[in-house]
Structure 1
Amino acid sequence: MTQVEPPPVAPAPQEEQPQEPRQRRVLPRSPRQLLGAARGGIGRVLGSDAALGARRVVVRGARAVGPVLAPVTRFGWVALAITIAALVVGIALEWVELVTIAFAGAVLLLIAVVYVIGRTMYRIELDLAYTRVVVGERALGRIEIHSASSRPLMPATIEVPVGSAVAAFHLPRMQPRDVHEDVFAIPTSRRAVLRVGPVRSVKGDPLGLLRRQVRWTEPVELFVHPRTVQLDETAPGLIRDLEGITTRDLTNSDIAFHALRDYVAGDDRRYIHWKSSARTGQLMVRQFEQTRRSVLALGLSTNPDDYGHPDEFETAISVLGSLGLQAIRDEMDVVVRTSRRSLPAMNGKRLLDGLSGIDWSPRHERLIGLAATMGREHAGASVVMLHVGAGVDVATVRRATSLLPSQARILVLQSIVGTKARVQPLGTATLAQLPSLAELPRIVRAVSEQ
């Protein structure tokens, strides 16, 4: 009997398991990433505590070895690498010449170590004749070196950084308690804030393989102020406002007369208006509008696009400094704003110190942005002066002055190389063009007479 085999049963479909997204392995590319990966590997192998201990050992080792390797110059590292490479290749290839080169390199490095080894003991004083000078004035510095060792000191080199330059002096062999003095001149051909110092002693070999330097003093700042001119005291009508700015706040005593009101017990009888009192039959007193102290706001554009020549920028700074000093002498409140920041103007010294460090940059705001900032920050100014160069046209000046406080007297001083000094009205403002700082007193007199 034939048996019929049952048809094969198809296997039940298995549910597909959701596959986890495959994480992409990112290889470290920078040294910092490599160091982080190495730390992670150490942590997985040794554990977090062991990895932390290994890290501390590495950091301590780097701190200990760092001062030892600090005197090695770039040329010294190259010489050391050549010496090691010549030694390894010479031994591997049995090349006597390379071994000889390696031996010579090792001898030179040992000789360099002899030059820089040893402790030096000095007491050095850095003194500047003046810490503030005007552009072009003579600035002198002096260093006085005392031997503070009980043994003779070998010759060395003394370096005094002055800005981006370095003044170097040869220090001869010094006996105990010897004193050596040097005087140096500091160039002041341009306005700047120079960092003088710190004074450091330098010991090195003739080939420049090693260079060991020790710092002995703190740096000192030298302010090279811009040139300024003295303005006539009889022509301050431009920058002095004796009556200040009147406000809508009423007071019983001030300068700006406003109205009359009935007498109240306690009022000062000096302000009784007798004619009105006789006409009305009751006492009447004067009432005034309160005035505020005059504020001179000085604005300087520090964007090079607003100037046609670097000399125009320096002239604008000198003009601003001259006007600011005159206002401070007149005991006015002065505020100074550049395209980047505000400058201190509590006194003449702080003002000129701030002007010494001003620099321009294409990233700074131009005249329009400067005017908008001043109009927002100094809305109560009574006089506003803007300083620009030949890179600004008349239309831009008009637009900038429209952003300034409406009650203020506005003057735009434009420094243009090779032009003739002139003053012209520009709506509610005044535009003054001058080629140099020497023309400023005449410009101020002309504006004051308008």
Structure 2
Amino acid sequence: MTSATLASADPTQNESSRSASAVREGGVGAPAGERRQRWADAAAPAAAAALRHVRAVAGVIRPIAWVLIVAAIALWIAGSVLGWWELTVAAVVITSALALCALFLIGRTAYDVSLDLNRTHVIVGERAVGALTLSNPGGRAILPSRVVLPVGAGRGVFDVGRLAAGESIEELFAIPTSRRTVLPVGPVSVVRGDPLGLFERVHRRDEPVDLYVHPRTVRFDGQSLGFVRDLEGLTARDLSRDDVSFHALREYQPGDDLRHVHWRSSARTGDVMVRQYEETRRSHFVIGLSCNPSDYRDTDEFELAISAAGSLGLRAVRDSRRVDLRVQGRSVPATTGKRLLDALSALEPSKPRDGDILDLTTALVSTVELASIVVLVCGSGVNPAKLRAACGRVPFGARVLAIVAHTGATPSLRRVGEADVVTIGELEQLPAALRKVLA
């Protein structure tokens, strides 16, 4: 019998032969690949931790220190290769200076930091006063350090002396405000460094606080803006069977509420007469503020327009009206005066592709259909034809007022179509201009 016949007759031998053949052909490759993957997975956290440590160490070295480190290495190499003792001495001096400066990083900076802003909402021109309290909760003294308080793009630096265990210190500061914005104050950073400024170790403490610098606003005299003279709102052209604004009498129709029967007229005419009403709606105050830079001559006009819109919105909120403030592409929160001013503090000029006052009015009309009063606020960059077109797109039945911010101009009032157009040169002129509209 041949070996081929024996192999086919013994299935156990066939299986073992196939397994040996698989081993010889590299079948162990799959388990080895799995082991390599497991090693890679196990090494990944260690590599990430090592990378974090390297970044932390590199983060304390300032640019000037990197220059000196490179110079020291170059001098060591040049001194040993060329045999120049002067280069080696220079390398020793630089290396010693680096080592001595690095010793200043040793020490604790575990302050307890408390940042307290007396007011987180101020008006342009006011100062925001705050206090920074540093305390040492440990049992050992903390060496002198610097405390950095970022305020927007700038920062304040406080030199803190040696702080004994359990001791605390308070630093007062004032933040001047010259423009409408939202300033992030903090986070407080404790800086340890050397006198030469080669190394700097920064520990961040506390959380940043937003300081809202509100636009300037002006108050209006009287109890109301005067545009809506009745308690419930403007009357509409639609007739209703039940409302508060009486319109006329008509004959009774099946389904009418008998409570609205006018009995005296019914007795006089012989027919049952019922009251008919005009629908009224709650005063809905809508402000459209253009943020397109092309609608303004300069940034001063833009700030004047924001202040005018904020003044009108605050007055409407105080009159318990529903207020909607819209800019290009979005609606600005205006449910309360604080939210309105906070949102205006963060308002920035829009992109030219977002449209001008005409596009803003079109979007406003499509989203706010039942407006009682629509106020459009823009700058002197809007020509009369475009302003007329924008006012003409306001829904029928809503009163339209346009306010044009034109710095340095004499206040004026003119009529454009069905809209009153008020031009103001400064914010204080707005109340008197509105009184002319109501006269």
TM-score category, normalised to shorter length: 0.7 to 0.9
Structure 1 residue 179 displacement after superposition = 1.7
Aligned residue for 2:214? 225
Structure 1 residue 423 displacement after superposition = 0.5
**Percentage of pairs with the same residue:** 39
8 Å CA contact 2:135–2:166 kept in 1: the answer is yes
Structure 1 residue 87 displacement after superposition = 2.2
Aligned residue for 2:192? 203
**Distance in structure 2 (CA, Å) of the matches to 1:344 and 1:381:** 17
Q: 1:58 to 1:432 in 2, by over 3 A?
A: same
Structure 1 residue 311 displacement after superposition = 1.3
What pairs with 1:283-432 in structure 2 (closer than 5 Å)? 283-363=272-352, 364-432=354-422
Structure 1 residue 51 displacement after superposition = 4.8
Q: 1:241 to 1:344 in 2, by over 3 A?
A: farther
Aligned residue for 1:113? 102
SS across alignment from 1:385: strand
Structure 1 residue 141 displacement after superposition = 0.9
8 Å CA contact 2:122–2:214 kept in 1: the answer is yes
- 186-195 vs 101-110, which moves further: 101-110
Task: Find the partner of 2:154 among 150, 155, 165.
Answer: 165
Please tell me whether residue 133 in structure 1 is matched to residue 137 in structure 2: no
One-letter code of the match for 1:295?
H
In structure 1, list runs of 5 or more residues that go unmatched: 1-43
Cα-to-partner distance string for 1:315-345 (whole Å, 9 max, x where unaligned)? 1111111111111111111001112432111
SS across alignment from 1:103: helix
Q: 1:422 to 1:239 in 2, by over 3 A?
A: farther
- 274-283 vs 240-249, which moves further: 240-249
Q: 1:260 to 1:99 in 2, by over 3 A?
A: farther
**Distance in structure 2 (CA, Å) of the matches to 1:70 and 1:247:** 71
Q: 1:240 to 1:87 in 2, by over 3 A?
A: farther
One-letter code of the match for 1:446?
K
8 Å CA contact 1:238–1:444 kept in 2: the answer is no
8 Å CA contact 1:256–1:291 kept in 2: the answer is no
8 Å CA contact 1:116–1:204 kept in 2: the answer is yes
What pairs with 1:214-253 in structure 2 (closer than 5 Å)? 214-233=203-222, 236-238=225-227, 242=231, 243-246=233-236, 248=238, 250-253=240-243
Question: For this pair of structures, how many residues does the alignment match?
Answer: 405
Structure 1 runs, 4 residues or longer, greater than 6 Å off: 263-266
SS across alignment from 2:104: helix
Cα-to-partner distance string for 1:346-398 (whole Å, 9 max, x where unaligned)? 11111111111112144443212211211111122111111111111101111
Cα-to-partner distance string for 1:176-196 (whole Å, 9 max, x where unaligned)? 121211111101121111111
- 101-110 vs 197-206, which moves further: 101-110
**Distance in structure 2 (CA, Å) of the matches to 1:240 and 1:249:** 20
Structure 1 residue 427 displacement after superposition = 0.6
**Distance in structure 1 (CA, Å) of the matches to 2:126 and 2:180:** 11
8 Å CA contact 1:160–1:168 kept in 2: the answer is yes
Q: 1:171 to 1:48 in 2, by over 3 A?
A: same
**Distance in structure 2 (CA, Å) of the matches to 1:427 and 1:324:** 24
SS across alignment from 1:334: strand
Structure 1 residue 74 displacement after superposition = 2.1
Q: 1:256 to 1:277 in 2, by over 3 A?
A: closer
What pairs with 1:63-74 in structure 2 (closer than 5 Å)? 63-74=52-63
One-letter code of the match for 1:187?
P
In structure 2, list runs of 5 or more residues that go unmatched: 1-32
**Distance in structure 1 (CA, Å) of the matches to 2:255 and 2:366:** 42
Task: Find the partner of 2:136 among 123, 142, 147.
Answer: 147
8 Å CA contact 2:136–2:166 kept in 1: the answer is yes
8 Å CA contact 2:228–2:234 kept in 1: the answer is no
Please tell me whether residue 177 in structure 1 is matched to residue 166 in structure 2: yes
What pairs with 1:426-441 in structure 2 (closer than 5 Å)? 426-441=416-431
**Distance in structure 2 (CA, Å) of the matches to 1:85 and 1:386:** 68
**Distance in structure 2 (CA, Å) of the matches to 1:282 and 1:245:** 28
**Distance in structure 1 (CA, Å) of the matches to 2:357 and 2:167:** 59
**Distance in structure 2 (CA, Å) of the matches to 1:106 and 1:254:** 90
Q: 1:234 to 1:346 in 2, by over 3 A?
A: closer
Cα-to-partner distance string for 1:222-269 (whole Å, 9 max, x where unaligned)? 111111111122662236664335264734233253653527799363
One-letter code of the match for 1:170?
D
Structure 1 residue 420 displacement after superposition = 0.8
Aligned residue for 1:5? none
Task: State the superposition RMSD in angstroms.
Answer: 2.5
Q: 1:386 to 1:287 in 2, by over 3 A?
A: same
Please tell me whether residue 443 in structure 1 is matched to residue 433 in structure 2: yes
